[in-house]
Structure 1
Amino acid sequence: MRILIAAAFLTAGFGTIGSARAQDAAIGGRVDRLEREMRAVQRKVFPGGAAQTVEPQILPETDTAVPGTPSGSALVDLGARVAALESQSASLTGQVEQGQFRLRQLEDAFNAYKRSADARLKALEDTASAVAVRDPIVPDADVAIVVPKPAAKPTPKPAETPAVKPAGTRAQQLAAIEKPATGDAAEDGYAYGYRLWQARLYPEARRELEGVATKFPKHRRASYSQNLLGRAYLDAGAPSLAAVAFYENYKKNPNGERAPDSLYYLAQALVKLKKPSGEICKVYGELSQLYGAKLSAEMKAGVERGRTEQKCK
């Protein structure tokens, strides 16, 4: 009878030890799996190598238990620690995935902005009408404004409207325009450009006038040519390019004989561009202040009419 009781106790003891060892093996497998997952996450977060990995805060403890002796409290504690480690691993994996998603969103937003900016810059470069006229009434600080002296031999100003365009093909129209040959290239170029403008052959007139203003900037006809270049643009329906030509003539050659005319027609170009009245009034004010005494009666009347239309103070 005693032998049977002892055998029963031994069987119960070995059963308890076997169950504890099974639990240890299961927990050990979970720990191994978690360690592999943590190393994978660390490689994704720190691609630089093992030197940048994060050391685990939960370190294995030295097992002081006697082999074969089960410890219920130790197993419960180890199970809780493994569960906490699993929760931390899942949280870190979720944070990594969220960071990658936000990075992709930032990259997509930046690429969209870059495409939009490139398209806007390309449109500005390709559209001639987007030329902006800088403050048209403030000359450079080192440019002295002197009222121009009358020419020794006054040259009649161009008519307010070009002459009637000649009939025939383009080639016939150009052939009908006489090209002067006096020996003065600047004088001849301006006279020929003026005749082309009168005939409303605007592209040819602009080419001739721009050549005179560029090649002979010190010649008195440079001011005439640059001003008439702006008139050719304005009459052809290109007020933006006309405004640039008028402003350039006034800025670069304020003492030129056609600088007052350029300021006057600059105001007309700004009106066609639908610029604010304040800008146009400033141009009229600058014209009257610098050149008022030398303006013709017709131009003075035009200035007063323009100031009234723009409600200048």
Structure 2
Amino acid sequence: MVATAASVASVPAPLMAQDNAAEARLKKVEAEVRALQRKVFPGGDGKFFEPQITPGTQTPATAGTTSPAPSTTAVTDILIRIDALENQLQTMTARAEEQANAIAQLSGRLAALEAAASAPAGTLAPAGALPQPALGVPAASVPASQIPAPRPAASVPAVSTAPAPVVSAPSAARLAAVQAIAKPQTADAADDEYSYGFRLWNAGFYPEARQQLTRYVEQYPNHSRISFGRNLLGRAFLDDNMPEDAARWFLKNYQANKAGDRAPDSLLYLGASMVAMKDTKRACIALAEFAETYPLIASGRLASDYQATRAKVKCN
């Protein structure tokens, strides 16, 4: 104690005064920093940023602890929601562009199909181009006065302007063969007309079948088998090596009712008609439309016909 008192007493007075002044200045600076913290960080609870200088003296135990994570603010929530809305808008815009592109492609295909039977453009052949009853259909069953000429359809332009060929009279043997084909006589007169045309076509009498089927489609346009009739009329042309006229009827039947019983057949045979006309571009369009519109039929009932027709043309 004596030694300590002696050492304190031995410290010069000016040096002790300097220490007291430095201590006072240091406390003043600390007070000012705490006041600044209260201005910058209201509340002093670390809600926005954790103060690097906190009031009081930290103990070693508390100095190493981690403060809780700052909570989100209203502005942060708004920014997050805006980002989510922008992402959703981008997704919807992309889908809308994809759908618009698909619709444009379908419209282009339909326009190409509508023009498939119009090369070269012209008017329908005159009614005299159709074979008359003298070709082989018995006059008693199909009177000439009851056979109307086909009416031109606005959506199906003619495919040829060539004059009608001169048709010679049928032979006696052909007349006898046609007369041997019986016409059905049931309570459904419209179905009888179609069935008779089918029998003539099935027997290979294509001109007579065309006469009979033309009669059917003109007189019974709303019959339940009208899709069959128009399609078979196209077949009667195609099987007789007349693909241009066949294409006109196939396109008309497909456009009239795409859900019709023989609309898929007509679209497929439209492609076959284009193949016969050596129109590769339109043939590929028709075949692609058939496969896309009727995928189950293309892989089922008409699979063999589709593959056979597809093998005749090289599409990109």
Q: What TM-score, normalized by structure 1, do the two folds share?
A: 0.45
- Please report the TM-score for the alignment, with normalisation by the length of structure 2: 0.45
